[in-house]
Amino acid sequence: MGIVQDNIGTILTGVSGAVGSVIAFLSGRRQKKAKDKEAEASAIQSIQATYDVFSADMKAKYDELKAELSDLKAENKDQRQDLRSLQKDNSKLHLEVAQLTRENHELKQMVAELRLENATLQEELKKYRKK
């Protein structure tokens, strides 16, 4: 035991150094874990903030597109009504044109008949004058 008693100071210094190293290692490890968790929390907050901005932008764009779609639907409805009205007017005009074409044909026939009758009467007048 003489060796242990003679070297107790050195042994205690060595043991306390080893214990201190273990404590320092564990303390450093805890600090690293704490820093890692803090960095992770910061990253998550940053991602959440970015997501919130993105989400708000997308909602605004969605609302804008929804309003534009609603306006386009209303405009489309108005244009369809106008188209139906124009189609009805076109049908009426088509019937009127057909009627006027028939009347024009009849009038041309009448003019042709009157010209023929006029020519006949002029021939009779010439004969009458010669007498």
Tens-digit pLDDT profile for residues 101-115: 999 999 999 999 999
Residue 126 clears pLDDT 70, i.e. is over it: yes
Q: What is the pLDDT of residue 100?
A: 97
Residue 55 clears pLDDT 60, i.e. is over it: yes
Residue 34 clears pLDDT 60, i.e. is over it: yes
CA distance to 59, 60, 66, per residue, from 51 (Å): 12, 14, 22
Question: If residue 76 lies in a helix (H) or strand (E), which one and from where to where?
Answer: helix 8-130
Q: What is the pLDDT of residue 4?
A: 62
CB 12 within 8 A of CB 4: no
Q: What is the pLDDT of residue 20?
A: 66
